[in-house]
């Protein structure tokens, strides 16, 4: 029938129409998902992935294609210039993004969030939030630009400023909390720009007074002119170490129009309040070498900060040195501050507290300074034999560590007595070794304390030539005959070389050397400061009986540092255990107002059970006799029970120099104190070692108050001593 539709066809056509409409809807939606760099691939949100990849590759021109052409999207040149400026200014070396997350806001808009990480040579690794909208329009999917997409609140033309937040170097304190290495400021001569009426005249007069050369004067004049044009308040003329400008010079400086002196802000420096007294303990700081700079860069530390060059400043540099922080600030094109984009707080260095007692150290140093001649070096050590705490370690002569805040000529440097004799000096111990020669002989039963020397009738003019075997060498010599019988007790008391030479021949070289090695001779003792490796016998030397006898009384090729000898003698107070000396009590950090120890040292042993308590008990009476009636009788003091040993080792081919020693300690007292004094120099001029030791032993017996508060501020440090 014409004009009448078949019902089946109508149903079919409606079905096909619905299919076609559904297909078209899918096509439209699929086309709407095409975006920048999708390459025609039908992948949702490829625009974000492509943007991340292109920015990570620092292909900013290509990344710009991913932005929606409407809204606040900057022109291509502005966008690339802004990103390249940020990369250059911050030293950005790589850019990365985390996996993005999407939140649907509407059918045409999604929120995308991720983490944007910049790796910067200035700031290290910095992670910022990446937040943006993804827009779906008829052309595809795009990222809507915003001012936070490169850096927070960052617009084209803005100025990025990187500011270093300087960390504070930790300070060094004595056990009684006296600051001995602090952060302070130097004496700085400057011109007050607004107050200077005639700059040329003032600069000329200062140049003459302060001995500035022509180039320095010209440079100051240029700095002054620049300061005037930029409205700066002050121009530095010359900086000195703290307290270097005396009253007379200060008065003459202040007479010059516009000239003044700053002591609190212009020239930061490391300050040592007691020049000379602690110099060989604290050491000093100096500028970084190329190698130091490389290490600082690896650790994220300041490459311009001073670092430790010797002493505790060097050995504990890693904990004393802080880590600088930074702020990255954003300014508008007209210089107005907008915001701090990101920052990292400075981490100040930790303080180091020593075991050194300020009273003991000052006394030890000044006793040496008052007695030592210009031809001598001297060392005084006070140590607690129970804990190993070094309470004083004085070296003389000494030097002013403050001098290293400024350039030093090679001539002046070479004239400075920088060498730390107490730890790095190696000396023949002389008769100090004799009790240790006795130990293996007593252990092996070769002799006892009352064993007599069997060849006394062969001694002529205090010289003995061994007769049991051929002896092609010079005789063994002693200073004088012991009073009483020639047994071990009297040989120790009178320091008889002949007796101990004979004793060494009885035990033989192998036994003698193996025992000396067992107590650390020939090795290096650990300590908080570098200690020189001791010497028993040179590698190229062939042992013979003459050398063995010389070694038995501390000569030959035996060399020891004073601090190692102090450890050896601590065995007499510790049942045969040699205490491990320590000069650092702990490392302390001020965190949120609480001053707490991050590390703290504990007593320990350098060598254990070098001999038995039985052998110690045999030797101690003889060492007490050294004080009672022997070579150390001059140190006797009322109220003190002491044991001691003296020693003298002649040096040089003409024997005109000597190392003169005394070691003494409290014996059977409540306190545990040992004093060592060494005087090295011309022969027979070191007898004052006994008066120095006596004064230190008497002072050590006096109780001093224990201070438990945090160390005093370095702002209250006392005036420096005038004697070095």
Q: What is the pLDDT of residues 131-185, one digit of tens each?
A: 999 999 888 899 999 999 999 999 888 999 888 888 899 999 999 999 999 999 9
Mean pLDDT across 41-46: 58
Q: What is the pLDDT of residues 375-392, one digit of tens each?
A: 999 999 999 999 999 999
Q: Is the dihedral of CA 387, 389, 392, 394 positive or negative?
A: positive
Domain pair 158-183+272-352 / 380-586+603-700, same fold:
no
Q: What is the pLDDT of residues 560-609, one digit of tens each?
A: 999 999 999 999 999 999 999 999 999 999 877 788 999 999 999 999 99
CB 121 within 8 A of CB 189: no
* CATH number, span 46-157: 3.10.450.100
For the chain, the domains span 46-157, 158-183+272-352, 187-266, 380-586+603-700
What's the pLDDT at 407?
84
- The radius of gyration computed from the CA coordinates of the chain, to the nearest angstrom, equals 40
Residue 481 — very low, low, confident or very high, per pLDDT cuts 50/70/90? confident
Residue 249 — very low, low, confident or very high, per pLDDT cuts 50/70/90? very high
Q: 58: burial class by Cβ within 10 Å (0-12, 13-18, 19+)?
A: middle
Mean pLDDT across 251-276: 94
Fold (CATH) for 158-183+272-352? Penicillin-binding protein 2a (Domain 2) (3.90.1310)
DSSP string for 133-152: EEEEETTEEEEEP-TTSSST
What's the pLDDT at 551?
97
Q: What is the pTM of this model?
A: 0.82
Architecture label for domain 380-586+603-700: 3-Layer(aba) Sandwich (3.40)
**DSSP H helical segments within 629-688, as ranges?**
none
Q: Which residues pair with 596 in a beta bridge?
A: 589
Among residues 150, 219, 158, the alpha carbon closest in space to that of 191 is found at 219
Residues 6+ apart with CB under 8 A from 113: 100, 101, 103, 129, 130, 131
Mean pLDDT across 401-417: 91
Residue 706 — very low, low, confident or very high, per pLDDT cuts 50/70/90? very low
Q: Is the dihedral of CA 37, 43, 45, 48 positive or negative?
A: negative
What's the pLDDT at 44?
64
Element (H, E) at 327: strand 325-331
What's the pLDDT at 36?
55
**For 469-532, what is the HEC assignment?**
CCCCCCCEECCCCCCCCCEHHHHHHHCCHHHHHHHHHHHCHHHHHHHHHHCCCCCCCCCCCCCC
pLDDT at 539 over 80: yes
What tokens does 55 get? Answer: 């920015």
Query: Mean pLDDT over all residues of the chain?
Result: 89
């Amino acid at each position: 029938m014409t004009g009448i539709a078949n019902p089946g066809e109508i149903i079919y056509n409606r079905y096909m129409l619905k299919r076609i409409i559904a297909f078209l809807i899918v096509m439209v939606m699929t086309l709407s998902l095409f975006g920048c760099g999708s390459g025609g691939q039908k992948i949702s949100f490829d625009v974000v992935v492509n943007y991340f990849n292109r920015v990570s590759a620092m292909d900013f021109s290509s990344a710009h294609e991913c932005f929606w052409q409407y809204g606040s999207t900057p022109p291509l040149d502005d966008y690339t210039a802004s990103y390249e400026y940020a990369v250059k200014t911050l030293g950005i070396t790589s850019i990365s993004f985390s996996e993005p997350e999407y939140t649907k806001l509407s059918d045409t808009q999604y929120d995308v969030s991720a983490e944007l990480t910049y790796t910067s040579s200035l700031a290290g690794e910095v992670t910022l939030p990446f937040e943006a909208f993804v827009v779906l329009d008829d052309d595809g999917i795009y990222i809507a630009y915003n001012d936070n997409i490169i850096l927070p609140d960052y617009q084209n033309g803005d100025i990025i400023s990187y500011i270093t937040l300087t960390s504070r170097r930790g300070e060094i304190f004595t056990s009684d909390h006296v600051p001995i290495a602090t952060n302070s400021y130097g004496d700085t001569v400057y011109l007050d720009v607004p107050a200077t009426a005639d700059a040329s005249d003032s600069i000329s007069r200062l140049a003459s007074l302060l001995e500035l050369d022509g180039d320095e004067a010209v440079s100051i004049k240029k700095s002054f002119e620049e300061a005037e044009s930029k409205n700066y308040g002050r121009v530095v003329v010359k900086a000195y170490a703290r307290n270097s400008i005396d009253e007379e010079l200060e008065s003459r400086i202040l007479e010059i129009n516009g000239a003044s002196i700053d002591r609190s802000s212009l020239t930061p420096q490391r300050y040592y309040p007691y020049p000379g007294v602690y110099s060989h303990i604290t050491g000093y700081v100096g500028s970084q070498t190329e190698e130091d700079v490389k290490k600082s860069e690896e650790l994220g530390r300041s490459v311009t900060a001073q670092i430790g060059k010797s002493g505790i400043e060097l050995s504990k540099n890693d904990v004393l040195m802080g880590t600088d922080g930074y702020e990255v600030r954003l300014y508008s094109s007209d210089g107005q501050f907008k915001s701090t984009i990101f920052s990292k707080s400075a981490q100040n260095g930790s303080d180091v507290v020593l075991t050194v007692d300020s009273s003991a150290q000052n006394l030890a140093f000044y006793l040496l300074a008052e007695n030592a001649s210009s031809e001598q070096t001297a060392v005084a050590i006070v140590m607690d034999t129970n804990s190993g705490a070094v309470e004083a370690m004085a070296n003389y002569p000494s030097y002013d560590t403050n001098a290293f805040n400024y350039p030093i000529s090679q001539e002046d440097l070479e004239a400075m007595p920088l060498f730390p004799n107490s730890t790095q000096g190696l000396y023949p111990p002389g008769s100090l070794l004799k009790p240790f020669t006795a130990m293996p002989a007593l252990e092996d039963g070769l002799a006892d304390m009352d064993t007599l020397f069997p060849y006394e009738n062969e001694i002529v003019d205090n010289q003995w030539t061994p007769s049991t075997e051929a002896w092609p060498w010079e005789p063994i010599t002693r200073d004088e005959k012991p009073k009483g019988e020639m047994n071990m007790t009297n040989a120790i008391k009178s320091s008889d070389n002949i007796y101990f030479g004979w004793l060494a021949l009885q035990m033989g070289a192998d036994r003698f050397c193996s025992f000396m090695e067992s107590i650390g001779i020939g090795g290096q003792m650990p300590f908080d400061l570098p200690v020189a490796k001791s010497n028993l016998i040179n590698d190229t030397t062939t042992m013979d009986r003459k050398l063995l006898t010389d070694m038995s009384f501390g000569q030959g090729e035996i060399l020891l540092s004073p601090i190692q000898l102090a450890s050896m003698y601590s065995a007499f107070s510790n049942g045969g255990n040699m205490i491990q000396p320590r000069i650092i009590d702990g490392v302390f950090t001020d965190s949120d107002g609480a001053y707490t120890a991050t590390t703290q040292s504990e007593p320990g042993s350098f060598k254990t059970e070098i001999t038995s308590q039985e052998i110690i008990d045999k030797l101690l009476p003889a060492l007490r006799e050294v004080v009672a009636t022997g070579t150390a009788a001059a140190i006797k003091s009322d109220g003190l029970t002491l044991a001691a040993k003296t020693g003298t080792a002649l040096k040089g081919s003409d024997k005109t120099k000597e190392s003169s020693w005394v070691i003494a300690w409290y014996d059977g007292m409540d306190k545990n104190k040992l004093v060592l004094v060494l005087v090295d120099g011309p022969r027979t001029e070191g007898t004052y070692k006994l008066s120095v030791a006596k004064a230190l032993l008497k002072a050590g017996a006096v109780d001093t108050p224990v201070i438990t508060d945090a160390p005093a501020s370095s702002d209250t440090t006392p005036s420096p001593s005038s004697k070095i």
